[in-house]
């Protein structure tokens, strides 16, 4: 026979009952009303003995809540809450970020299928782990973790709004295994390779390559630079990064300054330095097309294979791959050259704009000349 008990220091009653094997069970009812707590205890015992479904139990608890409070319980479905959450985010989030949320949560809703129509509180950790694992089988770990991040944000908001008592996504770990090209296979450009690429590039790509090498900045940031970002009097480049919204004030390296002085600046300070690239970024809100163009340039000079959608691993059910050389390799090259020149790590980190020392270390590669210099420094025995 089910009973209830309350600890002297608690306001809530605890349901006490036995399961089919005769073991004593105790579960808090989360209610302080004695009559309601006794009904909940009886329902717990009845459910465990008759193997009722969770849905039936929830319906019973909802009915008890309505009897006590006089308020109808509204259980929002997963699909419904996703729509509400996105509508809330729309006026306070950048369009690109909102598109990311829509895409990631759309994948989650599609994965759940009919389960997306059940109350949000009935989505459990097992389903979220299954969603993560299904993505990991065909996408890169970076993409999987981005999608998982959106699901976590959704349930964190649901808990804050009181729609779930526990967050089922809270302890779902991100994917650690990398399906794409291992980090160790990514590498820097050699100076000889850079000269070959510069010789084959048109004027705008040549300019962006020089900006990438002498500032170590990302392709999207370089493509969206305007003349107002450059102060030749102070010898500075000033801009806000697209990825981290970090304000960067960088001194101009002498070769880059010389290059800028030979460009046609025009009369409008708001004009882009690289018009074609600026137009692509403005239209698409991302730099993927520019990255592809740079890859084609590398393939033209024999530094990468010519890629097709199939060979790039694009499309449903495929794992994307990352080439050893890309525009981002200029960032790695700049980092390595600074270290080989003896620039202190903290100074190099600030110039490149890495957020942490750990991230900065990933970009450092030791060149052949530096290794030879180190070997030559060992004493003779």
pLDDT per position as a tens digit, 157-200: 998 888 888 899 999 999 876 544 454 577 889 989 999 999 99
Domain of residue 367, residue span? 183-374
Q: How many residues does the chain have?
A: 381
**Spatial separation of the C-alpha atoms in residues 211 and 218, rounded to whole Å:** 10
- Tokens at 24, concatenated: 């004593």
- DSSP bridge partners of 3: 16
Looking at every residue in the chain, the average pLDDT score rounds to: 82
Q: Cα 108 to the chain's mean position, in Å?
A: 16
DSSP 91-131: GGS-HHHHHHHHHHHHHHHHHHGGGGGSBGGG--HHHHHHH
Average of per-residue pLDDT across 60-81: 69
In a shared domain, residues 305 and 194: yes
In a shared domain, residues 215 and 340: yes
Residue 373 or 133, more confident: 133
- At 316 the pLDDT is 42
Q: Which of 75, 175, 180, 185 lies closest to 122, judged by CA? A: 75
- Which of 33-47, 245-259, 343-357, 364-378 has the weakest average pLDDT? 364-378
Q: Which of 136, 174, 139, 148 lies closest to 321, judged by CA? A: 139
In a shared domain, residues 119 and 255: no
The domain boundary, picked from 18, 36, 69, lies at 69
Band of pLDDT at residue 218, cut at 50, 70 and 90: very high
Decide if 176 is inside a domain. no
In a shared domain, residues 85 and 60: no
pTM of the model as a whole:
0.52
- At 176 the pLDDT is 79
Detail the DSSP E strand segments found in the chain.
Answer: 3-5, 14-18, 24-28, 230-231, 236-240, 247-251
Decide if 380 is inside a domain. no
In a shared domain, residues 96 and 52: no
In a shared domain, residues 153 and 275: no
User: What CATH number is associated with residue 309?
Assistant: 1.10.443.10
Average of per-residue pLDDT across 251-264: 92
Band of pLDDT at residue 381, cut at 50, 70 and 90: very low
Average of per-residue pLDDT across 246-270: 90
* Residue 270: exposure state from Cβ atoms within 10 A (0-12, 13-18, ≥19): exposed
- Tokens at 377, concatenated: 């420094």
- At 27 the pLDDT is 84
């Amino acid at each position: 026979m089910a009973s209830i008990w309350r600890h002297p220091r608690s306001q809530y009653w605890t349901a006490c009952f036995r399961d089919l094997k005769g073991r004593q069970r105790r579960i808090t009812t989360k209610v302080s009303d004695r009559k309601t707590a006794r009904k909940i205890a009886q329902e717990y015992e009845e459910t465990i003995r008759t193997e009722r479904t969770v849905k039936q139990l929830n319906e019973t608890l909802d009915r008890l809540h309505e009897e006590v409070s006089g308020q109808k319980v509204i259980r929002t479905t997963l699909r419904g809450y996703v729509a509400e959450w996105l509508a809330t985010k729309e006026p306070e989030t950048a369009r690109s970020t909102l598109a990311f949320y829509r895409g990631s949560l759309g994948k989650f809703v599609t994965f759940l299928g009919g389960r997306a129509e059940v109350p949000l509180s009935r989505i459990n950790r097992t389903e979220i782990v299954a969603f993560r694992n299904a993505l990991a089988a065909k996408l890169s770990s970076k993409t999987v973790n981005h999608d998982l991040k959106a699901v976590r944000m959704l349930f964190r908001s649901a808990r804050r709004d009181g729609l779930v008592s526990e967050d089922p996504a809270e302890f779902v770990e991100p994917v650690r295994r990398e399906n794409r090209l291992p980090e160790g296979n990514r590498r820097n450009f050699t100076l000889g390779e850079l000269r070959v690429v510069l010789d084959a590039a048109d004027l705008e790509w040549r300019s962006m390559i020089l900006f990438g090498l002498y500032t170590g900045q990302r392709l999207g940031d370089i493509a969206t630079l305007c003349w107002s970002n450059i102060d030749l009097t102070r010898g500075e480049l000033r801009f806000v990064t697209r990825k981290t919204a970090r304000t960067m004030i960088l001194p101009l390296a002498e070769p880059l300054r010389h290059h800028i002085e030979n460009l046609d600046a025009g009369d409008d300070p708001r004009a882009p330095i690289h018009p074609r690239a600026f137009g692509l970024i403005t239209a698409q809100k991302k730099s993927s097309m520019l990255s592809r163009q740079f890859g084609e340039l590398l393939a033209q000079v024999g530094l990468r294979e010519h890629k097709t959608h199939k060979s790039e691993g694009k499309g449903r059910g495929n794992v994307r791959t990352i080439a050893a050389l890309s525009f981002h390799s200029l960032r790695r090259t700049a980092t390595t050259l600074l270290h080989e020149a003896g620039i202190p790590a903290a100074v190099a980190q600030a110039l490149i704009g890495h957020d942490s020392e750990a991230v900065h270390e990933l970009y450092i590669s030791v060149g052949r000349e530096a290794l030879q210099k180190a070997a030559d420094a060992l004493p003779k025995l």
